[in-house]
Structure 1
């Protein structure tokens, strides 16, 4: 009888421990998920700041994120690697040339003046506002992959 009572008490204790552990795991998962969202948001915000800082300080080779409205669609650059080119007006009022390598990533079909494009790539300063490139994956895996987003699709 004592053995059955002891086994029953151990079972209850184990159930309580597992239930508490499951609750703790859920809390940790919730905190981790919230932290991941906050980190992603902070990272995007920092990258937007990095873009403006690079522009203001005439820097080059800076990994940045941002978005803008297409103000001009240019012809493709066909010298060497082919690049789709267009000009974005960003929130600060400045403009950026986007040079998107279409030998390594899909072209944005149906891109029109007035469209919004988000980007993640490398900023290079020039006297016209700058260029965003590396908006694609690196097949060699030696460079941070970039991307463009347009109308719900990602191009990388």
Structure 2
């Protein structure tokens, strides 16, 4: 586990090192238009909608992120593994995680540390704090 613990809520102001994306520089738009899934990428946008937590199986905090190009993507953040991100509608958020394509814009998940320590995992940055 990196700096900070999941119970602390945030690791640091700088994101931890992360796995290299499957294709360097791949954007959410590129992954969406290419119907790509399973690719690691970064995205930055504004929270446009807060959704109810998904409570089936491992719990997930969910929100819709509107990117600068207008595309929206669902962020599904595992709050069984990682701390909840205190993001509200209109907040700017940056995420690093695994993108899965769907016709509505896709989903970014794995925005948390790997509890088994097999991979670096992802993160969410909100107001200068990193949640993983």
Normalising by the smaller structure, the TM-score range is 0.7 to 0.9
TM norm structure 1 = 0.67
| C-alpha deviation, 1:47, in angstroms | 5.2
Q: Which has the higher contact order (CA 8 A, sep 6+)?
A: 2
Structure having the larger proportion of residues in strand: 2
Correspondence for 2:120: 144
The number of residue pairs the alignment matches comes to 113
- The answer to whether 1:134 aligns with 2:110 is yes
1:77-128 alpha-carbon deviations (Å, 9 max, x no partner): 000000000000012210000000001100012x211100000000000110
Match of 1:87 among 41, 44, 64: 64
Bigger-Rg structure (1/2): 1
User: Helix, strand or coil: the match of 1:74?
Assistant: strand
Over aligned residue pairs, what C-alpha RMSD do you find? 1.9
Q: Cα–Cα, structure 1 residues 47 and 149, in superposed 2: closer, same or farther, change >3 Å? A: farther
Give the Cα–Cα distance (whole angstroms) in 2 for the partners of residues 150 and 134 of structure 1.
16
